[in-house]
């Protein structure tokens, strides 16, 4: 579903519910709807892990540190070519660097460091060759105001207008609408949790829906 379609679906359901309950409707501003959507997106991602962003960097001989875009929220895994790397602590990386001379070879470990709030990928040993793929799988930021480093099909909100598709696949549309409804009518939480449980069962049955960004 496109963002504006999802917003319309929520408004229609909200209007009907207000009519049935005989309560006064809230005149939601676009920025409030964007916040509500972002919160539901983040909750679904946190609990079901449906969205992954896959990014590929290219190794440079003698270079151990690679800047990552600020849109990354959580690095799930890093591979050098087809080989998964082991994650180590930043303190381990700093200690090994301070105590030994630069070691080059095929990386087997990685750590995430921050320099001026910019996430950096640190490889060990330092790559000895150039042109190798460094594959990074991560979870992306769900703030509609910051749709950076993702495909052009990713929905955006420019402060006034919603455009493009939702970040969450269409199989989750009902959960999104129920998640927005529960923010207004708390008793909708039961329906939201029931839908989330059904989606989780489908995942356990091998029906996990992945949506690649970027």
Quick: pLDDT tens for 68-79.
865 556 788 899
List the one residue out of 56, 69, 73, 38 whose CA is nearest residue 168.
38
**Same domain (yes/no): 147, 162:** yes
**Same domain (yes/no): 148, 123:** no
How many Å apart are CA 161 and CA 166, to the nearest integer?
Answer: 14
Query: DSSP letter at 154?
Result: B
35 sits in which H/E element: helix 30-48
How many domains is the chain partitioned into structurally? Answer: 2
**Same domain (yes/no): 63, 120:** yes
**Same domain (yes/no): 42, 146:** yes
**Same domain (yes/no): 32, 8:** yes
Interval 139-155 mean pLDDT: 52
Q: Is the pTM of this model over 0.75?
A: no
Cβ contact 148:71 at 8 Å: yes
Respond yes or no on whether the N-terminal peptide bond of residue 183 is cis (omega within 30° of 0). Answer: no
pLDDT digit string (tens) for 96-108? 866 666 789 999 9
The whole domain housing 112 covers: 52-140
Are β-strands 104-105 and 126-127 bridged in parallel, bridged antiparallel, or unpaired? parallel
On average, the pLDDT of the chain sits at: 83
**Same domain (yes/no): 115, 171:** no
**Same domain (yes/no): 64, 9:** no
Three-class DSSP category at 2: strand
**Same domain (yes/no): 20, 75:** no
């Amino acid at each position: 579903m496109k963002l504006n379609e999802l917003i319309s679906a929520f408004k229609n359901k909200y209007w009907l519910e207000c009519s049935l309950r005989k309560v006064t409707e809230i005149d939601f501003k676009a920025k409030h709807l964007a916040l509500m959507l972002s919160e539901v997106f983040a909750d679904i991602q946190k609990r079901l892990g449906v969205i992954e962003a896959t990014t590929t960097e290219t190794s440079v001989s003698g270079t151990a540190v690679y800047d990552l875009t600020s849109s990354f929220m959580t690095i799930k895994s890093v591979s050098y070519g087809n080989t998964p790397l082991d994650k180590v602590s930043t303190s381990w990386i700093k200690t090994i660097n301070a105590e030994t001379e630069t070691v080059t070879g095929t990386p087997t470990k990685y750590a995430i460091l921050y320099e001026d709030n910019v996430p950096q990928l640190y490889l060990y040993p330092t790559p000895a060759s150039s042109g190798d793929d460094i594959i990074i799988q991560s979870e992306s930021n769900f703030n509609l105001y910051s749709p950076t480093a993702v495909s052009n099909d990713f929905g955006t909100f420019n402060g006034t207008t919603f455009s493009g598709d939702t970040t969450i696949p269409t199989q989750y549309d009902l959960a999104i609408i129920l998640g927005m409804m529960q923010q207004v009518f708390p008793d909708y939480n039961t329906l939201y949790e029931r839908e989330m449980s059904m989606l989780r069962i489908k995942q356990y049955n091998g029906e996990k829906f992945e949506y690649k960004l970027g």
